[in-house]
Structure 1
Amino acid sequence: MDALARLPVSTLCDVDKSLPVVDPAIRPLTPSERVCGPAYTVVAAGEFLSVLWAIGEAQPGDVLVVQAGGAPLAALGELLATEAHRRRLGGIVVDGYVRDRAGLPPELPLWARGTVPVAGRSDVPPRVGGPIAFGGVRVNPGDIVISDADGIVIAPRAQLEACVPRAQEIEALEAEVLGATRRGDSLIDMTNLREHVAKLQAGEQSALAINPPS
């Protein structure tokens, strides 16, 4: 998990383009964008009791994945977010809305579609665990939630961990290429761009390649 947590989401998606990417309308509301931890699934449509219950039941490092429905009602606010941070949860991602943005703990990664001032209900039984739909992605408890400034991916742990070796190779290669470009070398000259385009125009198969200067 440590190796996975150090990799950019974009690089993981370069390795496996089938990784489920959450709706980009769900964005970070605190400065802490990075999430990497197991999903603790919650359904809180029009209410916040399920989120409060989940905060009390989840383990440190768990990421609450909250399907909050489409109503403009907040699934949590400053009080619940502060308790989640105190309990050392790995973060909260909400397919819906939250409130009290100014008071949200900056150290707690918290993503949502936006903010509204009105809280949901607290008089329905909590619904936690089980598969949910979240931002266009099917999420099962224990799936890994990983995010950074580019967005959120949620996938089975095995699928993500299979990406790690190749993603590390890509990161090393791109670091070399970026360093060379910053020193004044041409990025285009480090690629097979012209040959690649010529083959594509001729109807031949080709792949774009990048090779840093030796």
Structure 2
Amino acid sequence: MTDKDLFALMKEKLFTAVLGDVLDVLGHRRQFLPQPIKPLAQGTKLAGRAMTVLEADFPEGKGHGPLADMPFGLMFAALDDLKEGEIYIASGSSFEYALWGGLMSTRALHLKAAGAILNGYVRDTSEILHLGFPVFSRGAFAQDQGVRGKVIDYRVPIDIEGIRINDGDLVFADDEGVLIVPQEAEKEAIALALEKVATENEVANAIRKGMSSQDAFATFGVM
């Protein structure tokens, strides 16, 4: 199965709750990003590969490093490096400014990226909604990054409140959360999640016909 087929299957058949349950069983029990990270448009479902972006606060002023005189640091290089089916996922800075906006969405859409996930804020929300580009964040805040922060690296491991994200990790998100699926577990996790969905449908049918919740759990092992 190609990644394109996998992402389509996930969006059609799965949801984060069932995949998260399966990861729990497989021993990967801290894979959800912080609960405040939500879709800009309710009902958005997102699947793709992480393209990790490392942010940092970098107040405007004279510095000595190679990024000191580069507005936004490596942000434009990171954005232009997005590939089809990838998700721009950024973290590392404070919550004092927006990490994503409308023009970035326009560029990412042209590159056929799957979406963006920010451990921080977005701006230009009306423009992003009009474009229909999937974005998850902590909310909207118009303050600009340009004189306050920079992208200092990309395609490197990043950490969001103890959840490690590696470039290329499978990412799945919906209204109920953002889930990081480790690459070494993704095949087994997806297969088990699809089985669990089928079983839950059987449980729902049995309950509708009058089976008690206790009997249903004893019979199917799912509730």
Band the TM-score falls in, shorter-chain normalisation: 0.7 to 0.9
Aligned residue number for residue 218 of structure 2: 209
Q: Distance in 2 between matches of 1:159 and 1:90?
A: 21
Matched, 1:134 2:160: yes
In the alignment, structure 1 segments of 5+ residues that lack a partner are 194-207
Aligned residue number for residue 13 of structure 1: 20
Q: Distance in 2 between matches of 1:99 and 1:27?
A: 14
Matched, 1:38 2:45: no
In the alignment, structure 2 segments of 5+ residues that lack a partner are 59-71
Give the structure, 1 or 2, with the largest relative contact order (CA under 8 Å, sep 6 or more).
2
| 1:24 to partner: Cα distance | 0.8
The aligned amino acid for 2:17 is: S
Alignment of 1:140-179 (within 5 A): 140-179=166-205
Deviates more, 1:75-84 or 1:129-138: 129-138
Aligned residue number for residue 141 of structure 2: 116
| 1:49 to partner: Cα distance | 4.7
What is the aligned residue count? Answer: 195
Aligned residue number for residue 214 of structure 2: 191
Q: TM-score, normalised by structure 2?
A: 0.76
Matched, 1:100 2:124: yes
| SS at structure 2 position matched to 1:171 | helix
| SS at structure 1 position matched to 2:17 | helix
Q: Distance in 1 between matches of 2:204 and 2:16?
A: 18
| 1:167 to partner: Cα distance | 1.7
Q: Deviations over 1:19-74 (max 9, x none)?
A: 41111111111346222211111122347454432221111111111015123201
Larger Rg: 1
The aligned amino acid for 1:21 is: F
Q: Distance in 2 between matches of 1:31 and 1:85?
A: 19
Residues 136, 111 of structure 1: alpha-carbon distance in 2 compared, 3 angstrom cutoff: farther
| SS at structure 2 position matched to 1:21 | coil
Of 18, 25, 36, which residue of structure 2 is paired with 1:25?
36
Matched, 1:61 2:68: no
Aligned residue number for residue 196 of structure 1: none
Q: Distance in 2 between matches of 1:50 and 1:100?
A: 21
The ranges of structure 1 where at least 4 consecutive aligned residues each deviate by more than 6 angstroms after the TM superposition are: none
Q: What is the RMSD computed on CA atoms of the aligned residues?
A: 2.6
| SS at structure 1 position matched to 2:159 | strand
